[in-house]
């Protein structure tokens, strides 16, 4: 008999006398016992030809040809003049050399591609009307072993409940969970009452506990907070679909894209910027919530800002090693850069709110780190070098000056300077956050900006090479076909590279070298310069200032002038920055 006849014997239709009902089939130990009983009564010959290939049989029992296919693709004629008839049997075989292996698929897994149209009539008929019987039979055998296990609370909570939640993934919250309904129906049909009652009782208790004590599902995987603030740049395929047309500035009109491309390119950049801005605003709001200082639930507990500061200082200590080494636990430069900009905006907002509540003259634009923080151990700097040398040496050399400054600040007399009064009235947690932001820029942000700048430099080089190639093509004589062909090939390469860089520059100008990011670095630079100016009044105590303050100030000015410019113009920066330029008598003209 063929495959269809064999399946009909195992699962007969309702027209037969002996209907293979689930209860009748359960009388056998396993389904294999039922099959072995059938095989003992009848001689079984399964024709595998319809499963493997399509053949054409002649009237004399000869097959003129055997056509072979794979995954729905016709591969040609495999054999000619193959004999068929009584006494002849063919078995599938494969010739393998040493170390080779193959996988035979006789219906255990579906084909990746659909069968060819000429093979569809040769496939065995589907199991119409038998799938429910087979499913119920298999399920009954499974629950025969599974039912006693589901009476335990641990199995229900650790296995059954996650399995039910997994079946809800991808479903609309307002729709019915068909997967859960089917599983519960199978439990109701196949499990006994003494098994079903404790199982459902444990399931309801687990759901109640999950609801009260922890979320049933997690919206985000467990990860470091800095990575949560990161916006991952798209790959080349996404950039190509987002920016089908690109544009760049060029002195050569022949190599410069059209104005229509410029309009489409600018529109795509603005569209991407608006979408990214929404995500950035959400991340900034999250940072604002974590920096709240008035959410202490009890008198003995710490506010959220102090808890965040403890984690943040530990994060800075772990990533400080990236200056000389690259440990495996350190965050990547793009991650720290995104984290830096979100923290700057959150710190500026909280400083402004604090100044309004306390009616302080020190607004966010005038924020600074007071000098006493560097020598009174209020903030840990992990033995980082200072302007005057090692910390232990400075404490021995200026011990009297430190005590004099401390006694002056603790005294209640009115002869202390206004600067000392302002230093003492600043919010310590905001000062520590400002110091952490400066350290974060020193650790990795400036290096990352330098790497991003390389994208713009590569684009300039490709544009220049494209212009030179176009000029050579115009000067080349038409008779030099070999030279023209080589120049055309070079033109194609430079055009592809320029287009690739233009798409990446769209992301850079949208996310990194923006006016908002420029203002963040400019604000930090003003904070450093204000801290240095106020620290110089302390005379010898100024030598306690960490060296990375000076390095961060120099790097921030260099980044504003050479990295952000000309994507965001350096001359548009308002305020005090140009006063520093004039005071330092910087040579050259700012363009």
DSSP character for 160?
I
DSSP-derived 3-state class of residue 63: strand
**Tokens representing residue 22 in the block:** 């689930």
DSSP-derived 3-state class of residue 233: coil
Counting Cα atoms < 13 Å in the Cβ hemisphere of 560 gives 26
Neighbour-count burial of 582, counting CB atoms closer than 10 A to its CB (0-12 exposed, 13-18 middle, 19+ buried):
exposed
Instruction: Decide: 155 and 35 in contact? Cβ < 8 Å.
Output: no
Q: What is the distance between the alpha carbons of residues 295 and 303, in angstroms, rounded to a whole number? A: 6
Q: Which residues contact 223 (CB under 8 A, 6 or more apart)?
A: none
- What is residue 22's predicted lDDT score, i.e. its pLDDT? 44
Is residue 418 scored above 90 in pLDDT? no
- Better-predicted residue by pLDDT, 190 or 293: 190
Binning pLDDT at 50, 70 and 90, where does residue 114 land?
low
Length of the chain: 591
Binning pLDDT at 50, 70 and 90, where does residue 28 land?
very low
- What is residue 591's predicted lDDT score, i.e. its pLDDT? 41
Instruction: Decide: 329 and 384 in contact? Cβ < 8 Å.
Output: no
- Better-predicted residue by pLDDT, 43 or 321: 321
DSSP-derived 3-state class of residue 226: helix
User: How far is the CA of 354 from the CAs of 257, 351, 357, 522, in angstroms?
Assistant: 51, 5, 5, 21
Is residue 1 scored above 60 in pLDDT? no
Q: Is residue 30 part of a domain?
A: yes
Binning pLDDT at 50, 70 and 90, where does residue 284 land?
very high
Q: Is residue 198 part of a domain?
A: yes
Closest CA to 446 of 578, 558, 326, 570: 558
Residue in this structure with the two tokens 């905001």, named with its chain if needed: 430
Of 64-73, 289-298, 508-517, 566-575, the one with minimum mean pLDDT is 64-73
State the SS3 of 232-264: CCCCHHHHHHHCCCCCCCCCCCCCCCCHHHHHH
- What is residue 121's predicted lDDT score, i.e. its pLDDT? 52
User: Which range among 203-212, 403-412, 517-526 has the greatest average pLDDT?
Assistant: 517-526
Enclosing H/E stretch for 65: strand 62-70
Instruction: Decide: 387 and 544 in contact? Cβ < 8 Å.
Output: yes
**What would the mean pLDDT of 200-209 be, rounded to a whole number?**
88
Residue 443: other Cβ atoms inside 10 A: 23
Tens digit of pLDDT for each residue in 312-324? 998 888 887 666 5
Q: What is the distance between the alpha carbons of residues 280 and 287, in angstroms, rounded to a whole number? A: 11
Q: Which residues contact 242 (CB under 8 A, 6 or more apart)?
A: 234, 268, 272, 503, 506
- What is residue 556's predicted lDDT score, i.e. its pLDDT? 92
- What is residue 82's predicted lDDT score, i.e. its pLDDT? 77
User: How far is the CA of 464 from the CAs of 360, 364, 459, 467, 475, in angstroms?
Assistant: 54, 44, 9, 5, 17
What integer best gives the mean pLDDT of the chain? 77
Residue 102: other Cβ atoms inside 10 A: 7
**What would the mean pLDDT of 379-407 be, rounded to a whole number?**
81
Is residue 384 scored above 90 in pLDDT? no
Binning pLDDT at 50, 70 and 90, where does residue 412 land?
very low
- What is residue 100's predicted lDDT score, i.e. its pLDDT? 80
Domain that holds residue 176: 1-43+122-222
* Bridge partners, 63 (sequence order): 82
Total count of domains within the chain? 1
Helix 333-358, helix 259-290: angle, nearest 10: 60
Q: Is residue 186 part of a domain?
A: yes
- What is residue 343's predicted lDDT score, i.e. its pLDDT? 94
DSSP-derived 3-state class of residue 330: coil
Q: Which residues contact 237 (CB under 8 A, 6 or more apart)?
A: none
Q: Is residue 325 part of a domain?
A: no
**What would the mean pLDDT of 541-547 be, rounded to a whole number?**
87
Q: Is residue 181 part of a domain?
A: yes
- What is residue 589's predicted lDDT score, i.e. its pLDDT? 43
- What is residue 129's predicted lDDT score, i.e. its pLDDT? 55
Q: Is residue 517 part of a domain?
A: no
Share of residues in the chain with pLDDT > 90 (%): 13
Tens digit of pLDDT for each residue in 228-282? 888 888 888 888 888 888 888 877 777 778 888 888 888 998 898 888 999 999 9
Binning pLDDT at 50, 70 and 90, where does residue 345 land?
very high
Of 110-124, 153-167, 282-296, the one with minimum mean pLDDT is 110-124
**What would the mean pLDDT of 78-106 be, rounded to a whole number?**
77
Q: Is residue 149 part of a domain?
A: yes
Tens digit of pLDDT for each residue in 126-167? 555 556 677 788 888 888 888 899 998 888 888 888 888 887
Is residue 349 scored above 80 in pLDDT? yes
- What is residue 322's predicted lDDT score, i.e. its pLDDT? 62
Is residue 562 scored above 60 in pLDDT? yes
Of 113-117, 331-335, 394-398, 416-420, the one with minimum mean pLDDT is 416-420
Q: Is residue 201 part of a domain?
A: yes
């Amino acid at each position: 008999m063929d495959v269809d006849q064999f399946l009909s014997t195992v699962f007969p239709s309702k027209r037969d006398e002996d209907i293979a009902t689930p209860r009748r089939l359960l009388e056998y130990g396993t389904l294999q016992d039922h099959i072995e009983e059938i095989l003992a009564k009848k001689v079984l010959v399964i024709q595998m030809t319809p499963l493997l290939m399509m053949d054409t049989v002649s009237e004399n029992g000869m097959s003129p040809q055997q056509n072979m296919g794979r995954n729905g693709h016709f591969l040609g004629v495999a054999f000619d003049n193959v004999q068929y008839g009584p006494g002849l049997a063919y078995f599938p075989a494969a010739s393998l050399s040493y170390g080779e292996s193959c996988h035979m698929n006789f219906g255990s897994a579906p084909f990746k591609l659909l069968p060819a149209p000429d093979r569809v009539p040769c496939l065995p008929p589907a199991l119409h009307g038998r799938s429910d019987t087979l499913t119920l039979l298999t399920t009954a055998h499974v629950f025969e072993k599974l039912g006693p296990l589901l009476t335990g609370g641990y199995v229900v909570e650790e296995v059954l409940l996650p399995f039910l939640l997994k079946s809800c993934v991808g479903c609309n919250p307002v729709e019915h969970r068909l997967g859960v309904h089917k599983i519960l129906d199978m439990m109701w049909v196949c499990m006994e009452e003494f098994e079903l009652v404790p199982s459902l009782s444990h399931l309801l208790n687990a759901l109640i506990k999950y609801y009260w004590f922890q979320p049933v599902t997690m919206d985000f995987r467990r990860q470091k907070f800095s990575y949560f603030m990161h916006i991952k740049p798209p790959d080349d395929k996404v950039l190509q679909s987002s920016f089908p047309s690109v544009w760049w500035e060029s002195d050569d009109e022949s190599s410069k894209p059209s104005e229509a491309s410029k309009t489409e390119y600018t529109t795509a950049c603005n569209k991407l910027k608006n979408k990214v801005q929404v995500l950035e605003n959400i991340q900034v709001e999250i940072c604002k919530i974590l920096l709240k200082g008035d959410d202490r639930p009890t008198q003995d507990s710490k506010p959220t800002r102090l808890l965040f500061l403890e984690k943040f200082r530990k994060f800075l200590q772990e990533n400080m090693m990236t200056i000389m080494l690259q440990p495996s636990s350190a965050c990547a430069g793009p991650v720290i850069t995104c984290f830096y900009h979100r923290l700057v905006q959150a710190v500026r907002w909280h400083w402004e709110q604090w100044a309004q509540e306390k009616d302080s003259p020190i607004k966010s634009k005038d924020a600074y780190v007071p000098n006493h923080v560097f020598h009174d151990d209020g903030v840990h700097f992990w033995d980082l070098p200072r302007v005057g040398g090692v910390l232990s040496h400075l404490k021995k050399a200026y011990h009297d000056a430190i005590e004099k400054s401390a006694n002056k600040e603790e005294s209640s007399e009115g002869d202390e300077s206004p600067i000392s009064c302002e230093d003492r009235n600043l919010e310590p947690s905001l000062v520590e956050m400002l110091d952490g932001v400066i350290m974060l820029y020193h650790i990795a942000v400036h290096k990352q900006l330098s790497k991003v700048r390389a994208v713009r430099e590569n684009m300039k080089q490709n544009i220049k090479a494209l212009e030179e190639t176009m000029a050579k093509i115009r000067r080349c004589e038409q008779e030099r076909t070999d030279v023209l062909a080589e120049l055309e090939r070079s033109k194609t390469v430079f055009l592809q590279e320029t287009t690739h860089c233009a798409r990446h520059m769209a992301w850079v100008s949208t996310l990194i070298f923006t006016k908002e990011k420029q203002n963040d670095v400019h604000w930090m630079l003003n904070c450093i310069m204000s801290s240095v100016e106020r620290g110089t009044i302390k005379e010898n105590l100024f030598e306690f200032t960490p060296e990375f303050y000076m390095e961060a100030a120099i790097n921030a000015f260099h980044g504003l002038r050479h990295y952000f410019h000309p994507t965001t113009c350096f001359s548009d920066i308002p305020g005090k920055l140009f006063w520093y330029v004039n005071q330092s008598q910087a040579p050259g003209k700012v363009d």
